[in-house]
Amino acid sequence: MSATTSPVSQASPAPQATPVPAASPTPPAGTEMLPVEHQRLAAEVRDFADEVVAPASYEYDTARRLPMEIIAQMGQMGLFGLPIPREYDGQGRDYLSLCVAVEQLARVDQSIAVTLEAGLGLGAMPILTFGTDAQKERYLPALARGEELAAFGLTEAEAGSDAGATRTTARLEDGQWVIDGSKQFITNSGTPITSLVTITAVTGRRTGRSGTEGPALTSIIVPTSTPGFTVLPSYDKVGWHTSDTHPLRLDEVRVPEENLLGERGRGFSNFLSILDQGRVAIAALCVGAAQGCLEQAVARAKSRVVFAKPLGEHQHIAFTLARMQARVASARALMHEAARRLDAGLPISQEASIAKLVGSHAAADNARDACQIWGGYGFLNENVVSRHYRDSRILQVGEGTDEVQLGIIAKHLGFPGALAG
């Protein structure tokens, strides 16, 4: 079983990378200190990633299509229900479990990993965190079983890092929210099983804690079947080719008043806490990507002979590999710490930002180094390291850019001005 690039198209086949063997009884790298149930989950998802996901990745990446049959298998494995309570058909596990699963998938395929991360972190978790009992009962079971996907629509053309600049509006009319506006870059918003998008909209004005007045943002659940809700064609992205990303348009979209998610006018603080959680899972995705690149680079450094000895026995390459390992290990430690704090109910804003910042750089740097070690073969799209190289660009942008993470960390040091108007 090869866990990497296929199929190979040229007459003289490119060497295939060979990461850890599937079904290995050993726990995946970096999980040795986790509880045994997390180690088992990591091993199960690693084997699924190597045996099912990796062999199909190049084909789907080239076709730019989300493999729904793989998503269905992930649903059957219970991955979409990991941190959802059992009463809603979830697995009743902790957030660290989600991180463990996302990391193992991201080793071989970031698009598949982010489909899980966004489906849960941005789709289901807002409903679990802020939903009423009726909303949880109505929406969570199908999401937890992986039969449906949900998305989170915050970003707009004029409102990315500066989410306070949201232009989409919602007004109450005869017991219904009437929503007008548009959203950009919404992950999982156009798959065949996407059933709802939670959008943020301006519903009035409010005075913040500092005394300044600004727009009151509110989160509203919009079923994708609602008239006036349009999923526009997907983007031509640099990476994450199989991940589903669309702009959305909302023209006089009418949903019942009870689709309000959380408190009216509290959408801003609600999505900040959702993004904090999501960043921990994105940090796990970064660790997986960095780990996958390390595995591929080590395999190549062992098998490729140059100047009469394996690449890895040349000091510069050995040191490059050692640096890659140090990046993964430190990013993983930060991610585990943030996930454990989240599961313990402790504040995570700063820890999540640090884990995401360090993790996204580890992924990008390891992808660059892995491509270099693979030489010309690292420039072929069929090679997983070149896919990681393209895919890792978004890790320093999505769910808060580098600069947003730095602004959050600076705020915790007593300098809140970086992200304020």
137 versus 162: smaller Cβ distance to ligand FAD = 162
Residue 229 pairs with which residues in a beta bridge? Answer: 250
Question: Within a 10 A sphere around the Cβ of 214, how many other Cβ atoms?
Answer: 15
* DSSP secondary structure, 251-267, as one string: EEEEEEGGGEESSTT-H
C-alpha to C-alpha distance for 107 and 97, rounded to whole angstroms: 16
C-alpha to C-alpha distance for 113 and 102, rounded to whole angstroms: 5
Q: Rule CB under 6 A: choose which of 139, 240, 377, 389 binds ligand FAD.
A: 240
Catalytic residue, from 87, 137, 399, 403: name it: 399
**Dihedral pair phi/psi, residue 2, rounded to 5°:** -100, 135
**Do residues 362 and 328 make contact, with C-beta atoms less than 8 angstroms apart?**
yes
Residue type, 391: D
Applying the rule CB under 6 A, the residues between 383 and 402 that interact with ligand FAD are 394, 397-401
Can you say how many angstroms the Cα of residue 12 is from the centroid of all Cα atoms in its chain? 36
Size of the site for ligand FAD (CB under 6 A): 26
For position 268 contacting ligand FAD by CB under 6 A, the verdict is no
| Residue entry with tokens 């040349």 | 314
Q: How far is the CB of 374 from ligand FAD (least distance, A)?
A: 25
328 versus 395: smaller Cβ distance to ligand FAD = 395
**Do residues 108 and 97 make contact, with C-beta atoms less than 8 angstroms apart?**
no
Cβ neighbours of residue 238 under 8 Å, at least 6 residues apart? 390, 393, 394
For position 238 contacting ligand FAD by CB under 6 A, the verdict is no
Q: How far is the CB of 298 from ligand FAD (least distance, A)?
A: 29
| Gyration radius of the chain's alpha carbons | 21
Q: Rule CB under 6 A: choose which of 57, 194, 195, 245 binds ligand FAD.
A: 245
Applying the rule CB under 6 A, the residues between 179 and 208 that interact with ligand FAD are 185-187
40 versus 237: smaller Cβ distance to ligand FAD = 237
Answer yes or no: 399 catalytic.
yes
Selected range binding ligand FAD among 160-168, 217-225, 306-314, 363-371, rule: CB under 6 A: 160-168
Q: Rule CB under 6 A: choose which of 97, 115, 155, 198 binds ligand FAD.
A: 155
Applying the rule CB under 6 A, the residues between 83 and 122 that interact with ligand FAD are 118, 122
Interacting residue ranges for ligand FAD, rule: CB under 6 A: 118, 122, 151-155, 160-162, 185-187, 237, 240, 245, 394, 397-401, 403-404, 418-419
Give catalytic residue positions. Answer: 399
